[in-house]
Amino acid sequence: MSLLMAGNYDPQQELSNLTQRDYDRFVEKFEPFEDALLAQRNSTKLVDQARLDSQTQSRIAQEAAARNIERYGGAGLSAAQRQEQQRALQRGTSLSTVGTVNNARVAQREINQAITADLINIGQGVNRNAIGMLTSGAEMAQNRYQSYKNARANYSSQMKGMGAQIGSALLGAFLI
Amino acid sequence: MAAKPKKQDYKPSQAEITNTKVAVAQRERFVNKYDPILLEQAETAATEDLGSYAAGKKQADTYQVLGKPSMAAARSIDYAADLATAASDQILRGRAAGEATKANRSLSTLASAQGQQMDATTGIGSLARLGNAGTLASAERKLLNRQANIDAGAMLAGSAYQTGKTNLAAGNTFFGGAKTDPVTGKTTEAVNRTDGFFDRLEGGLFG
């Protein structure tokens, strides 16, 4: 059994398999989710919906007011007063739509800004991690290279030393 | 001299085996129990329409307060306009809160998933460091072995050369045994091969 095994497990192999599986799983399961969130930072959903909501609420309010007036038998309103009610509703609806859309823009901007800020934080973490890994990789490659160069230099210097010893022995043999 | 290292002395301890076994089991447990929850959370965060839910609630609240039938409301000129404005405003607040909640939920789910993935890549980094340390140690061991072989060879060669030189100086051949005439180079005395190996070894060692 290999010395790298712990019982039936090879911890290095297990860790390698696990990390690869985790990364693949993230790409498969969570990347579409991540892309959707990235797209959401430019969303105009609230603004679009505010226009529709304002129109709908104007209609509902008008219907509620009409039912109210009917319930009280016209409520003693003159024709001029009823016309003024209609104009007030139209004016109110226009102002309400503009106001609601403006507020929706502000709210949308806040939400989009918050999403962007959080996404940037998450992205920074990813980037930091990637840079850290690359730095480690570069350091390891540099260490390996330096070790190789040192080993070569040691080997070369020892070979030269040995050659010098043999050479001096030969010189001794022939010159004495 | 130290004894040759034995492979069995370097076997993993029982604690190490248990540690690895438990780690693998824990990991399986996490994958089976907690990972599906995170995936479910991601799906819910992506599909659930919290904005509409909150908007509906705000609309209901508004009409409960302002939609009560009354003579004063019926006679008011701008009752309908005020009601529409209030309802639109409340609905917008509801939608905004719902969207913000949905975004927070999605972001925290993504952060968790990214965190898991980061743990995985950190694991790869550790593994690479382990592998690198192993490669360097292995290269160093190879270098030491190679150097030891060279040193041993050099020592043997030097020893043989010195012995040969001594043999030549004594009037024997380089490898000893037979004697030669230094002028003609011819053998004057044959090699005595009658001694046994140990006698010759003793002669070589102690003269």
Of B21, B24, B117, the CB nearest to A23: B117
Contact A9 B51 (CB under 8 A): no
pTM: 0.66
Q: Is the ipTM of this complex over 0.90?
A: no
For residues A36 and A61, state if they share a domain: no
Residue A65 contacts residue A82 (beta carbons within 8 Å):
no
For residues A26 and A49, state if they share a domain: no
Computed over its alpha carbons, how large is the radius of gyration of chain B?
Answer: 46
User: Is the pLDDT at A52 greater than 90, yes or no?
Assistant: yes
Tokens representing B185?
């180079």
Of B85, B106, B122, the CB nearest to A96: B85
> How many separate domains does chain A show?
2
To the nearest whole angstrom, how far is the Cα of B194 from the nearest Cα of chain A? Answer: 32
pLDDT digits (tens, 9 = 90+) for B56-108: 999 999 998 888 888 888 888 888 888 899 999 999 999 999 999 999 999 99
User: Is the pLDDT at B156 greater than 80, yes or no?
Assistant: no
Report d(CA B59, CA B86) in Å as an integer: 9
For residues A35 and A57, state if they share a domain: no
For residues A1 and A65, state if they share a domain: no
Q: Is the dihedral of CA B156, B158, B164, B166 positive or negative?
A: negative
Closest CA to B102 of B35, B34, B39, B47: B47
pLDDT digits (tens, 9 = 90+) for B160-188: 777 777 777 777 777 766 676 767 767 77
**Domain that includes residue A140, residue range:** 41-175
Contacts of B29 (CB under 8 A, 6+ apart): none
For residues A34 and A76, state if they share a domain: no
Contact A53 B154 (CB under 8 A): no
End position of a domain, from candidates A25, A40, A55: A40
**A96 burial via Cβ count (<10 Å: 0-12, 13-18, 19+):** buried
Closest CA to B115 of A128, A6, A142: A128
Beta bridge partners of B200: none
Contacts of B63 (CB under 8 A, 6+ apart): A64, B87
Asked if B144 is an interface residue toward chain A (Cβ–Cβ < 8 A), one would say no
For residues A75 and A152, state if they share a domain: yes
Domain ranges of chain B: 48-160, 170-207
For residues A57 and A25, state if they share a domain: no
